């Protein structure tokens, strides 16, 4: 199978970066995050791109970053929360090991504080998070090989549950 060994998807704040780094370490492969790629390439924060250029400009950058990472990276790859909104991106994920890290709104509040640094949650965070998840949940489920709930679990427990669900052995 070409492409990443494991791809992580899920909402902002679910722990994709933390779990991704732990998975990569335990599988002895490299870790990559498309949000980090965008920040490095653009030289500014994602929130700044949203404010200065708008969501559609950010989504175009994200689509390019995801396409490039899927083609180049063979380790553990974490995708930005909204990357699955793009049909081409969803098609590229077909046939890959995709872990959807899920959480409910109460867990999201605990983890992110649903703060203003998250541009899509700036006005009414709980309501907006619920609406985002209503719009995206079926897309996460569509691309997922496995779903791993993160509610009330430590990153280590989520990492182990991901390995178990994918039936991957540590290196």
The pTM is what?
0.88
The annotation places the binding site at 13-18, 35, 59, 81, 118, 136, 153
Say if residues 149 and 12 touch (Cβ distance below 8 Å): no
- The per-residue pLDDT for range 123-136, each reduced to its tens digit, is 566 777 778 888 89
Instruction: Report the CATH number of the 6-166 domain.
Output: 3.40.50.300
DSSP state of 86: S
Return the closest-CA partner of residue 50 out of 113, 117, 108, 112. 117
- The per-residue pLDDT for range 141-156, each reduced to its tens digit, is 999 999 999 988 999 9
Say if residues 8 and 99 touch (Cβ distance below 8 Å): yes
CA 101 to CA 113: how far, in whole Å? 18
The annotation places the binding site for Mg(2+) at 17
The annotation places the binding site for ATP at 13-18, 118, 153
CA 69 to CA 48: how far, in whole Å? 22
The annotation places the binding site for substrate at 35, 59, 81, 136
């Amino acid at each position: 199978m070409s492409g990443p060994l494991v791809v992580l998807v899920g909402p902002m704040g679910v722990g994709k970066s933390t779990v991704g780094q732990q998975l990569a370490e335990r599988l002895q492969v490299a870790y990559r995050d498309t949000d980090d790629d965008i920040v490095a390439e653009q030289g500014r924060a994602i929130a700044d791109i949203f404010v200065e250029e708008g969501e559609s400009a950010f989504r175009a950058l994200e689509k390019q970053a995801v396409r490039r990472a899927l083609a180049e990276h063979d380790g553990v790859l974490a995708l930005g929360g909204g990357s699955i909104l793009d049909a081409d991106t969803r098609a590229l994920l077909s046939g890959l090991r995709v872990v959807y890290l899920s959480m409910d709104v109460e867990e999201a509040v605990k983890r992110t504080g649903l703060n203003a640094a998250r541009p899509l949650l700036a006005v009414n965070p709980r309501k907006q998070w619920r609406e985002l998840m209503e719009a995206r949940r079926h897309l996460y489920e569509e691309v997922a090989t496995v779903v791993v709930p993160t509610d009330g679990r430590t990153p280590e427990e989520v990492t182990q549950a991901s390995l178990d669900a994918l039936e991957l052995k540590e290196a």
